[in-house]
Amino acid sequence: MSLIFELTAENLRENAGKLHIGDKVLLSGYIYTARDAAHKRFFSLIDEGKSLPFEINNSIIYYAGPTPAPAGRAIGSCGPTTSGRMDKFAPKLLDMGLCAMIGKGERNTVVADAVTRNKALYLCAVGGAGALAADCIKSCEVIAFEDLGCESVKRLYIEKFPLIVANDCFGGDIFKDSRARYIIKA
């Protein structure tokens, strides 16, 4: 049976041990957007011994490239992008202290192992509902790589953003577990 947790970005790490795959999280607080191009730049900075544009320890990255904000809104459509495109970057960022990632779709075994090793989380947002997700985003500020447009790194303030735990810190994987549940053996 899945549970519903109302948590903040600031207390997500300390509550990770209470969350299991399938649990629902209503997340509030500051998170950062970053997609492929931003991740490549993160790794260039790391290779050069430079700081990332935000403190990675206990942070949450949302794999999203929001559209421009219409008049009167903090942001345009802001749905998740496919997380697997960041799989080559995620383990290092998790080892550096990243608390959680938000996206859609399955992660590879190396990422799942890094989630477990670092007592972190991978949370899924509902794909195809970017306009609805934007209702939970109360502020948006570009903090790095403005030249990347929608893929620039943004600091978002979210309120009760609905998520599902897809990889927990115990090694649970909602994608693998769900598939195993529905396999028909002849």
Domains and CATH numbers, the chain: 4-182 (3.20.130.10)
Q: How far is CA 25 from CA 16, 60, 174, 183, in A?
A: 11, 14, 15, 28
Q: What's the pTM value of the predicted model, to 2 decimals?
A: 0.94
Q: Dump pLDDT digits (tens) for 68-115.
A: 999 999 999 999 999 999 999 999 999 999 999 999 999 999 999 999
Q: Which of 31, 32, 38, 39 is catalytic?
A: 39
pLDDT of 163 > 80? The answer is: yes
Segment holding 69, helix H or strand E: none
State residue 84's pLDDT score.
97
39 an active-site residue? yes
Instruction: Give backbone dihedrals phi and psi of 108, rounded to 5 degrees, phi first.
Output: -80, 170
pLDDT over 90, % of the chain: 89
Closest by CA to 166, choosing from 40, 97, 88, 82, is 82
State residue 13's pLDDT score.
96
Q: What's the burial of 80, exposed, middle or buried (CB within 10 Å: 0-12/13-18/19+)?
A: buried
Contact 139, 158 (CB under 8 A): no
